Structure 1
Amino acid sequence: MNWRDGYIAVDWGTTNRRAFSIGNDGRLIERLADDRGVLAVGRDGFEGAAAEISARFGSAPMLLAGMVGSNRGWSEAPYIDCPAGAPALAAAIHWIEPGRIGIVPGVCQRGAAGADVMRGEEVQAIGAVVAGLVAPDGMLCHPGTHAKWIRMQGGSIAGFTTSMTGEMFSLLSRHGILADQLQGEVKASASFAAGVADALGGKPLLSALFGIRARWLLGEANADASYASGLLIGSDVRASLDGGTSEIALIGAPELCALYAAALGIAGREAVPIDGETAFLAGVRQLTEIL
């Protein structure tokens, strides 16, 4: 099947699904976005869910990425080792239907750098470089429940780090002794900046978090979720910056990117938000041109 005649690109995550119909000129024809993520579909429902997309967009070949290729998805796609570029990703596509429906592999890291894995972000990272949104040797950050820091080299993924920043804040705000103090809205406020500064300055994270409780008990400070968020994001930034490029590309929800941009600014780095959809579609197009 000739992918140059048009194709369907699907970003299929844990909770959401986005599908794009691409014409033979490479332009976006139509998009679909819904909450039919991996958890909602269930293991036995993927064939039918993919058929729904084809019924809407036509019988073009389909390339899928994200958690649809996990052990909870349609079919488990392999992980390929860093460094990982578009040719390696294309060569390792996991075919559901040979030449017509395939899942992009994930990327993994092993050895002294520490074990790590990603699914979905690899397509955006490759695409961001192809689209000119990120330098071939640049750095990207995907804020979220599990933040990804991706180091590019020559347009390939050289290495990456995953931080449980968002999940840790969620756990702290729902369970344990800080839950009552962390119910307010998180803003890029003076309190947030103070938390970032404390983290960047090397203040021990665990004792700083308990300090939120202690100051509240002693009447020295009001409950403030922003300070706690600043501590966590600041710790993430401090651990993830390696003295390389001064510009960090951010891909993700605007409100989270704004917090990371503020933290990066305090750290003396320039944050450049880029459009995740543009990066994803550029990455898929690069892969289809290799197939």
Structure 2
Amino acid sequence: MSAKNFVVCDWGSTNIRAFLYLDGKQVEIKKSHEGVTTVRGKDCEGAFDRLTAEWFQKYGPMPTIMAGMVGSINGWTDAAYLDCPVDLGDLSSQLTEVHHSKGYKIRIVPGICVRDKDNWNVIRGEETQLAGAFKLSPSKVYIMPGTHCKWVLADGSRVNSFRTAMTGEMHSIMMKYSLVGLGAGEQEDSEPDFMAGLERGYTENNIVPRLFEIRGANILGGIKPCHVGEFLSGLLIGAEVASMQKIFKFTKEDSPLTVIANDFFYARYEKALKLAGLEAKQLDADTCFLEGIIPLAQSLL
């Protein structure tokens, strides 16, 4: 076994991604669908072995660092949360040990949390992306779109506070289970409908009355059924940006805000921030994750 061999795992709710590093260089990536919601803490060791056994048989025991929902109460081991404000440069001293029957050296990165009377919040997995983002592109504000979009206030390598918007989950629920998406059928991209929803969501004080109007517009011919999802996406993102701007009081002096996302999500949030008078810049989520977690893996060597 080389002293520079290690394994990195991004273990979320639905999937596991394992990265093999030999002599400090990434040589292979493996994926499985045995996320935390599938194994529910009952066979995490088995799920890990099924994905990586070939590597350990070939190269011998290697230290492994994990991040994500694997460290939740429903994961392999509860890695707890570090309270904000927290310096992510100290993560290597806060790792949680995992028991493996073969004695493998495995550690999980802790999450971070906020415990304020008006803001009870948690991050699990994104803290590792943030640690990488801090190195790649220092910023005062980081936005992390997804099922649960995170808005993070930072100072150097320190996270001061953050908020969560359930925008992605709300969109999914409304399109699948509510009258808004009923009968809408297969969806298509539509820049005009997204922008119309974005402007409506950003300027409205309360979008709740506007949600049923999407259904009405669909029935009465005001919007094509295949564009319902686009208008709803714009409406929710616009309302999210307006809400976060009100909470954090962002100004042009805070620009550019760093959006950690793929091209699709970045384009949407860049348009929303422009509408709010703010500039944006992009970082790739996978690049941030590896930039943040590799030093933690190397600390185990």
TM bracket (short chain) = 0.7 to 0.9
* Pairwise CA distance, 1:177: 2.4
Unaligned runs of 5+ in 2: none
Amino acid at match of 2:244: S
Q: 2:233 aligns with which of 208, 229, 233?
A: 229
Residues 165-198 of structure 1, C-alpha deviation per residue, up to 9 Å, x if partnerless? Answer: 1111112112232222654526351111111111
Amino acid at match of 1:274: L
The verdict on how the C-alpha distance between 1:287 and 1:277 changes in structure 2, with shifts beyond 3 A counting, is same
Amino acid at match of 1:10: C
Check if 1:262 corresponds to 2:271.
Answer: yes
> 8 Å contact 1:63–1:104 — kept in the other structure?
yes
> 8 Å contact 1:141–1:149 — kept in the other structure?
yes
The verdict on how the C-alpha distance between 1:177 and 1:287 changes in structure 2, with shifts beyond 3 A counting, is same
Amino acid at match of 2:255: S
Mean CA deviation greater in 165-174 or 261-270: 261-270
> 8 Å contact 2:32–2:51 — kept in the other structure?
no
- For residue 261 of structure 1, give the secondary structure of its aligned residue in structure 2: helix
Q: 1:127 aligns with which of 99, 124, 132?
A: 132
In the comparison of the two structures, how many residue pairs are matched? 286
Q: 1:189 aligns with which of 188, 191, 194?
A: 191
The verdict on how the C-alpha distance between 1:46 and 1:115 changes in structure 2, with shifts beyond 3 A counting, is same
The verdict on how the C-alpha distance between 1:254 and 1:16 changes in structure 2, with shifts beyond 3 A counting, is farther
Partners of 2:294 and 2:95 lie apart in 1 by 14
Q: Give the TM-score of the pair, scaled to structure 2.
A: 0.85
> 8 Å contact 1:21–1:29 — kept in the other structure?
yes
- For residue 180 of structure 1, give the secondary structure of its aligned residue in structure 2: coil
* Pairwise CA distance, 1:20: 1.1
Structure 1 partner of 2:49:
51
Structure 2 partner of 1:164:
166
Partners of 1:93 and 1:120 lie apart in 2 by 13
- For residue 280 of structure 2, give the secondary structure of its aligned residue in structure 1: strand
Amino acid at match of 1:128: A
Structure 2 partner of 1:105:
110
Partners of 2:161 and 2:218 lie apart in 1 by 41
Mean CA deviation greater in 103-112 or 258-267: 258-267
Check if 1:38 corresponds to 2:36.
Answer: yes
* Pairwise CA distance, 1:72: 1.4
Matches within 5 A, 1:86-97: 86-97=88-99
* Pairwise CA distance, 1:150: 1.8
Partners of 2:159 and 2:5 lie apart in 1 by 27
Amino acid at match of 1:273: Q
Check if 1:17 corresponds to 2:16.
Answer: yes
Give identity over the alignment, percent: 34
RMSD: 2.5
Amino acid at match of 2:286: E
Partners of 2:214 and 2:230 lie apart in 1 by 11
Partners of 2:4 and 2:219 lie apart in 1 by 66
Partners of 1:27 and 1:198 lie apart in 2 by 48
> 8 Å contact 2:31–2:51 — kept in the other structure?
no
Partners of 2:230 and 2:186 lie apart in 1 by 8
Mean CA deviation greater in 47-56 or 15-24: 47-56
Partners of 2:219 and 2:51 lie apart in 1 by 55
